[in-house]
Amino acid sequence: MRKLPIWKHLLYQLALLALALFVLVPVWGVVYLAFDGGLSGRPTSFRLWPEVFSFEVFIRMWVKPAQSLSFLSLLGNSLTVAGGAAVASVLLGASMAYAFARFRFPGRQTGLFALLAGALLPPVALMTPLYILLTALKIRTTLFGLMIVYAAFAMPFCIWNMRAAFQSVPRELEESAFLDGANNWIAYWRITLPLALPSIVVAALIAFLLGYTEFAMGWLFVEQSRNVTLAMALTGLLSPDNINASWPSLAALAIMMSLPVVVIFLVVQRSLLSGLLGSAAEE
């Protein structure tokens, strides 16, 4: 392996340092805002350390970030909606992805193209049909209805991702199971699904993040304050009518909202890395 000249090595290190600062400086800006108890309005300058270090903002956001809900209530709503959307996207999309990966049937290519087109459509294009459908079913203003909305947007991506994972599993493994007397369901459940599990975890995580962080569609389908999610409460802090509206409150709630996602990443990081490395190996 050829050794790099010193000037090239320094140049690479400076480039990596600049990239790290580009990512970390905004993150630190949010952190110091959240702990700055002496700031009540808009920040006018960037500081490396809070002027008045305090946990008061976090306590206030824990007790009542929204007008009538605590942080735990908002977190429960977000986890219910996002988790339900992820589970529904994976459970309903896995069988369809397996069919697209293993079987040949009329309309297969058309169906794949339709799923791809659905994934590329902007969310606003489907708001009106979903609004009419959920209103007719009388579940538009419920968390279950919002869960269906997020699952509908996440499912095309999940199906394409899981289809690629199923295709990466050698067909010979299933054929060996068929020789031992297994049917399609047993081969799918006992062989293909466990081997494709890392990529399925990735698809579920993406679907979860979509439902956990989305707020624009939520305001259209949620009318009662008890169904507000964390993402919606976070955007509500930007309203001047909110008594908790301030930049430190916004930063503190953003940090508190990100902590459950960090925990989930730590729990599934092994499967996540396996799925990403497996996709890279396939390419």
- Residue 87 within a domain: yes
Q: How confident is the model at residue 283 (pLDDT cuts 50, 70, 90)?
A: very low
Q: Whole-prediction pTM value?
A: 0.82
pLDDT in tens, 133-169: 888 988 888 899 999 999 988 898 889 888 888 888 8
d(CA 35, CA 138): 43
Mean pLDDT of the chain: 83
CATH value at residue 183: 1.10.3720.10
Place of tokens 């008890």: 226
What is the pLDDT at residue 122?
Answer: 80
pLDDT in tens, 176-189: 888 878 787 888 88
- Residue 138 within a domain: yes
Give me the mean pLDDT over the 25-48 stretch.
75
What residues make up the domain containing 120?
59-282
What is the pLDDT at residue 56?
Answer: 85
Q: How confident is the model at residue 256 (pLDDT cuts 50, 70, 90)?
A: very high
- Return all residues near 221 (Cβ < 8 A) that are at least 6 apart: 130, 131, 134, 140, 141, 145, 146, 149
- Residue 121 within a domain: yes
pLDDT in tens, 75-109: 999 999 999 999 999 998 888 888 888 888 888 88
Yes or no: say if 90 and 204 are a contact pair by the CB < 8 Å rule. Answer: yes
- Residue 142 within a domain: yes
- Residue 171 within a domain: yes
- Residue 109 within a domain: yes
d(CA 150, CA 36): 35
Domain tally, the chain: 1
- Residue 12 within a domain: no
- Residue 39 within a domain: no
